């Protein structure tokens, strides 16, 4: 397209941006805004066509593949426009298809400002036929961020099924004697249940919690006490040997490991393998700031160097932890009489943490424990020939409900559990490459082009993950034909309704129609899923952006604009725009 018309597109973008404001009014205002928007686009395209001349037809800057519309549809469009007085003069020489309108809006959305500085991959297909409607850089690699969860949750549902339940047990080498004594250790055996916590299920619009965070371990301790156990002569052992020890996948960064979203991977996941650090400032400058860790974690030490500053001074906190250390150092200041600060921090040795908690809860119930808390992390489970007796067990919620939580709130650690539990059905693997090969075999079955997915973790936190937009759309097309698709589809955030899209695209045509997984790590913003148009047609799409230098909202705003444009332009209910011959 000529340079002059590109500049016109960019100038018009500020005008078109007002559409979203107009849409906050009633439906009539939305229709008027939509009409004005299309006619502005048509005007620019008409100008560019006249500049290009009859010798060359204008094309979008982006690499696109346009689906062809039928001649009767174009004739109907132009006929309707004529009846409404929208054209005059000679016969109409060119009509704009939905693809052309979307392409024009895509240029305006991505053609200037921060979005223009990054890389964008786009693919939109018809969900019913699989026909590609629009593509841009669809075969190039992009870091997917949490769009990788689309692959892992599909793999888990296909391998395990929506009704699969995780099992966590308390086991010993001997039965309790008549006087309530257990000889030897008591094992807490994890098998990848991501929800040993106080979360409320099923997930409904938002995340909710009931009772203490250690609720499940409390129930197991109560079950041991109910059996009349009075004494355990051995250690309390957190056994997470169901998975090979691999706390942090390749591509996770050191800073990730401090916080909840980068919690260590283990077959035992107790309250997301986190603790909460609460900092309470004093009443006067110079006072000590109190630091409390909950639940109690003796193996987790806080070096508190935070002091109280003057009232009204801006808070200034820094948190440090060396890799492999259980000591967290907190430095800085909090203003006097200000609110508490709560920091959710990741545990580095989840099995040891769980064992220590279980030991404390047993002792709180009057059960004497002679040994210490320790962990067992060497696969594959008990030594050969060792027989254990199950004393108590916890059965999880169905996998379908767990997947819904994962995708709605984008829970990283839980996704890693799903990947490893799925692979464990084929036995114990030895290396991260074995784990990746297991996943790759499923992607091949799903019809994803070879090499289009490079996976180093399940959640997308790894900066080494790579996918193409074509791979994402192929997965989504495959998923909708599977018996587990309902659980998969219902797990996706819904625009303006819930999950990570709850506050996006409010008062727009996308509300309730866009079901998509979001993704976000530094310099990366992604969104892929399904769009249900007013006409009843469903689209499958993937929008991936990388190398976004800004830390503000520009890339996410661009994703919103692309999402709305897709639904508006590919909906068959509205009239297309026709251009008069020049």
Indicate if the pLDDT at residue 30 is higher than 90: no
Domain encompassing residue 9: 3-103+574-580
Indicate if the pLDDT at residue 56 is higher than 70: no
* Per-residue pLDDT at 39: 53
Q: 499-525 burial, b for 16+ CB within 10 Å, e for fewer?
A: bbbeebbeebbbeebbbbbbbbbebbb
Whether 512 and 454 map to the same domain: the answer is: yes
* Per-residue pLDDT at 429: 85
Task: Report whether 359 contacts 279 (CB < 8 A).
Answer: no
Whether 36 and 153 map to the same domain: the answer is: no
Does 337 map to a domain?
no
For residue 493, give the CATH number of its domain: 3.40.710.10
Q: What is the pLDDT of residues 349-374, one digit of tens each?
A: 999 999 999 999 999 999 999 999 99
Whether 67 and 143 map to the same domain: the answer is: no
Does 322 map to a domain?
no
Quick one: pLDDT band at residue 578, thresholds 50, 70, 90?
Answer: very low
Task: Report whether 189 contacts 171 (CB < 8 A).
Answer: yes
Does 411 map to a domain?
yes
Q: What is the pLDDT of residues 517-554, one digit of tens each?
A: 999 999 999 999 999 999 999 999 999 999 988 666 89
Q: What is the pLDDT of residues 10-25, one digit of tens each?
A: 444 444 443 443 333 3
Instruction: Give the global pTM.
Output: 0.83
Does 563 map to a domain?
no
Q: Could you give the 3-state DSSP secondary structure of residue 487?
A: helix
Does 257 map to a domain?
yes
For range 1-16, the mean pLDDT: 45
* Per-residue pLDDT at 204: 92
Does 131 map to a domain?
yes
Q: 97-132 burial, b for 16+ CB within 10 Å, e for fewer?
A: bbbbbbbbbbbbbbbbebbeebebbbbbbbbeeeeb
Whether 82 and 187 map to the same domain: the answer is: no
Closest CA to 102 of 578, 557, 561, 536: 561
Indicate if the pLDDT at residue 29 is higher than 90: no
Q: Could you give the 3-state DSSP secondary structure of residue 420?
A: helix
DSSP 204: B
Q: Which of 360, 378, 395 is at the close of a domain?
A: 395
Task: Report whether 121 contacts 138 (CB < 8 A).
Answer: yes
* Per-residue pLDDT at 393: 97
Does 71 map to a domain?
yes
Closest CA to 6 of 58, 63, 66: 58
Quick one: pLDDT band at residue 301, thresholds 50, 70, 90?
Answer: confident
Quick one: pLDDT band at residue 377, thresholds 50, 70, 90?
Answer: confident
Handedness of CA 116, 121, 127, 133 (dihedral sign): positive
Which token pair is 87?
């054209």
Whether 248 and 357 map to the same domain: the answer is: yes
Closest CA to 254 of 318, 322, 317: 322
* Per-residue pLDDT at 256: 87
Q: Could you give the 3-state DSSP secondary structure of residue 578?
A: strand
Closest CA to 167 of 392, 447, 429: 392
- Cα of first residue to Cα of last residue in the chain, in angstroms, is 17
Q: Which of 378, 395, 412 is at the close of a domain?
A: 395
Does 285 map to a domain?
no
For range 557-575, the mean pLDDT: 87
Which token pair is 520?
């976000």
Closest CA to 123 of 69, 62, 38, 42: 62
| Number of structural domains the chain divides into | 3
Instruction: Give the long-range contacts of residues 421-425, CB within 8 A, separation 24 or more.
Output: 421/156, 421/160, 421/166, 421/191, 421/192, 422/155, 422/156, 422/159, 422/160, 424/191, 424/192, 424/242, 424/243, 425/159, 425/160
Whether 68 and 128 map to the same domain: the answer is: no
Please compute, for residue 112, the number of CA atoms within 13 A of its CA located in the half-sphere on the CB side.
11
Whether 360 and 443 map to the same domain: the answer is: no
Closest CA to 123 of 115, 132, 114, 131: 132
Greatest mean pLDDT range, 70-74, 200-204, 498-502: 498-502
H or E element at residue 232: strand 231-232
Whether 152 and 235 map to the same domain: the answer is: no
Q: What is the pLDDT of residues 411-470, one digit of tens each?
A: 999 999 999 999 999 888 888 899 999 999 999 999 999 899 999 999 999 999 999 999
Look-up of token digits 């591509």: 251
* Per-residue pLDDT at 243: 93
Quick one: pLDDT band at residue 71, thresholds 50, 70, 90?
Answer: very low
Instruction: Write the secondary structure of 122-182 as one string of H (helix), E (strand) and C (coil).
Output: EEEEECCCCCEEEEECCCCCECCHHHHHHHHHHHHHHHHCCCCCCEEEEEECCCCCCCCEE
DSSP 548: -
For residue 251, give the CATH number of its domain: 3.50.80.20
Q: Which of 379, 395, 411 is at the close of a domain?
A: 395
* Per-residue pLDDT at 320: 86
Whether 358 and 275 map to the same domain: the answer is: yes
Whether 61 and 137 map to the same domain: the answer is: no
Whether 407 and 434 map to the same domain: the answer is: yes
Task: Please state, rounded to an integer, the average pLDDT across all residues of the chain.
Answer: 84
What percent of the residues of the chain are helix, what percent strand, and what percent coil, each to the nearest 5? 35, 25, 40
Whether 96 and 153 map to the same domain: the answer is: no
């Amino acid at each position: 397209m000529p340079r002059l018309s590109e500049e016109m597109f960019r100038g018009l973008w500020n005008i078109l941006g007002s559409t979203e404001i107009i849409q906050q009014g009633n439906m009539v205002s939305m229709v008027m805004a939509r009409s004005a928007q299309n006619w502005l686009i048509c005007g620019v395209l008409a100008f560019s066509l006249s500049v290009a001349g009859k010798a060359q037809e204008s094309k979008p800057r982006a690499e696109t593949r346009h689906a062809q519309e039928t001649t009767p549809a174009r004739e109907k469009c132009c006929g309707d426009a004529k009846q409404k007085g929208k054209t005059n003069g000679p016969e109409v020489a060119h009509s704009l298809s939905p693809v052309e309108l979307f392409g024009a809006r895509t240029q305006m959305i991505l053609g200037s400002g921060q979005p223009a500085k990054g890389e964008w991959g786009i693919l939109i297909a018809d969900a019913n036929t699989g026909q590609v409607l629009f593509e841009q850089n669809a075969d190039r690699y992009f870091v997917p961020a949490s769009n990788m969860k689309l692959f892992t949750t599909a793999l888990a549902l296909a391998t395990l099924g929506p009704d699969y339940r995780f099992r966590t047990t308390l086991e010993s080498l001997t039965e309790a004697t008549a006087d309530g004594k257990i000889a030897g250790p008591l094992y807490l055996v994890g098998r990848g249940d991501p929800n040993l916590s106080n979360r409320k299920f099923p997930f409904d619009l938002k995340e909710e919690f009931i009772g203490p965070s250690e609720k499940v371990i409390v129930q197991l301790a109560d079950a041991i006490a109910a059996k009349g156990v009075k004494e355990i002569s051995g250690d309390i052992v957190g056994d997470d040997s169901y998975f090979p020890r691999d706390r942090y996948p390749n591509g996770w960064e050191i800073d990730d490991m401090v916080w909840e979203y980068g919690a260590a991977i283990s077959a035992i996941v107790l309250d997301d393998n986190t603790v909460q650090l609460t900092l309470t400032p004093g009443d006067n400058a110079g006072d000590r700031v109190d630091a409390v860790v909950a639940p109690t974690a003796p193996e987790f030490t806080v070096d508190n160097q935070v002091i109280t500053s003057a009232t009204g001074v801006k808070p200034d906190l820094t948190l440090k932890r060396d890799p492999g250390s259980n000591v967290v150092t907190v430095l800085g200041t909090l203003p006097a009489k200000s609110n508490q600060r709560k920091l959710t921090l990741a545990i580095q040795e989840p099995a040891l943490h769980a064992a220590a908690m279980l030991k404390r809860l047993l002792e709180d119930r009057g059960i004497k424990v002679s040994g210490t808390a320790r962990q067992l992390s060497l696969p594959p489970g008990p030594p050969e020939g060792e027989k254990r007796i199950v004393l108590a067990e916890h059965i999880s919620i169905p996998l379908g409900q767990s997947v819904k939580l994962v995708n709605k709130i984008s829970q990283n650690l839980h996704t890693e559990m799903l990947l490893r539990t799925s692979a464990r059905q084929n036995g114990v693997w030895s290396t991260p490459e074995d784990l990746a090969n297991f996943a790759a075999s499923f992607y091949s079955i799903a019809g994803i082009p070879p090499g289009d997915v490079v996976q180093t973790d399940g959640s997308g936190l790894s900066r080494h993950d790579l996918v193409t937009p074509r791979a994402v759309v192929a997965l989504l097309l495959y998923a909708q034909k599977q018996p587990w698709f309902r659980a998969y589809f219902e797990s996706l955030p819904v625009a303006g309704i819930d999950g990570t899209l709850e506050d996006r695209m409010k008062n727009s045509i996308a509300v309730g129609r866009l079901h998509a997984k979001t993704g976000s790590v530094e310099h990366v913003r992604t969104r892929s899923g399904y769009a249900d148009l007013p006409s009843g047609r469903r689209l499958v799409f993937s929008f991936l952006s990388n190398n976004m230098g800004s830390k503000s909202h520009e890339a996410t705003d661009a994703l919103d604009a692309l999402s709305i444009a897709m639904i508006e332009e590919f909906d068959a209910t509205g009239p297309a725009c026709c251009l008069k011959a020049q």
